[in-house]
Amino acid sequence: MPLRAHIAELRRRVLLAFAGIAVGAVVGWFLYTPVYEFLQQPVLDLAERDDALVTVNFGGLASALDMQLKVSLVLGAILTAPWWLYHLWAFVAPGLKDREKRYTFAFLAAAVPLFFGGVVFAAFILPQAVDILVGFTPDGAANVLDAQMYLTFSVRMLLAFGIAFVFPVVMVALTWIGLVGARTWLRGWRWAMIIIALAAAVLTPTPDGVMMVLMALPMVLLYFLAVGIAALRQAAVRRRLRRAGAEADA
């Protein structure tokens, strides 16, 4: 496919992906209230437990509306993950062989559960993260959290963990279609650790080290899990080739 056709295909896939996210954002608008209550609950629990003034505050007249729009957009991206993950793969698929294009279902079957698994994991550790970060407030001081900051922190955390959990599937997919070998992934583990640390620093909503570590640790584990799966795949291919060669010789 020529370069101009690649650019046109990329533009088409991006537009389709954003159209799906826009539709998801409409659904996210109606889900905003229960999601807001869920995200606010760790703050309420912390205030009740410690009998302290810890609350979420909307500082401006239009802050609540602006925040609902932003949260709805992120919820749209989360809800429509299968849609834009499909278009991510569909952009790569034209360069694959017919046999390799059949891996589309396998890619989505692995990527979608991992994405939502990352979102669930982020939702699980959110109360612990809030507890740790608010715990640095000095005794006798109040912690009035800006709603823009807190809700942006929370929803970006959900989305960031979802995206981070998909990366190992991309690794396995590249090995599956023969572009990158398992030994190459393993030899580059030092560079991978650096890239994971940088990705954790970029994806985490706050610059504190606690959130970076919480994101980087599962990414490291998933990286080596992906290397193991890639190695098993290559070993199976080698066994099949040796068996085919032995049958041909016979």
pLDDT at 1 over 60: no
18: containing domain: 3-241
pLDDT level of residue 139 (50, 70, 90 thresholds): low
Closest CA to 165 of 127, 105, 125, 131: 125
Within-domain flag for 248: no
Identify the residue with better confidence: 34 or 92. 34
pLDDT at residue 235, rounded to an integer = 76
Return d(Cα 168, Cα 114) in angstroms, integer: 9
pLDDT level of residue 154 (50, 70, 90 thresholds): confident
The residue type of 28 is G
DSSP symbol at 94? G
Return d(Cα 101, Cα 29) in angstroms, integer: 36
Segment 97-105 shows an average pLDDT of 65
Question: For the chain, what is the mean pLDDT?
Answer: 78
Return d(Cα 62, Cα 57) in angstroms, integer: 13
Within-domain flag for 249: no
pLDDT at 200 over 80: no
Tell me the whole-structure pTM to 2 decimals: 0.76
Q: What percent of the chain has pLDDT over 90?
A: 8
Least confident of 101-105, 106-110, 129-133: 101-105
Position of tokens 């982020």?
122
pLDDT at residue 152, rounded to an integer = 80
Position of tokens 């070993």?
235
Tokens of 162: 């979802």
Return d(Cα 234, Cα 159) in angstroms, integer: 32
> pLDDT, tens digit, for every residue of 5-55?
767 877 888 898 899 999 999 999 999 889 888 888 877 777 776 666 666
pLDDT at 227 over 90: no
pLDDT level of residue 116 (50, 70, 90 thresholds): very high
pLDDT at 247 over 70: no
Query: Which ranges constitute the DSSP H helices of the chain?
Result: 3-50, 63-79, 81-92, 98-101, 104-134, 147-176, 182-187, 189-203, 209-249
- Exposure string for 10-31, b = 16+ CB within 10 A, e = fewer: eeebeeebbebbeebbeebbeb
pLDDT at residue 26, rounded to an integer = 93
Within-domain flag for 208: yes
| Number of independent structural domains in the chain | 1
Identify the residue with better confidence: 175 or 204. 175
Could you give the dihedral angle defined by the CA atoms of residues 146, 34, 152 and 67, in that order, rounded to the nearest 10 degrees? -70
Return d(Cα 119, Cα 140) in angstroms, integer: 34
The residue type of 180 is V
Within-domain flag for 250: no
Return d(Cα 27, Cα 34) in angstroms, integer: 12
Return d(Cα 53, Cα 43) in angstroms, integer: 10
Within-domain flag for 168: yes
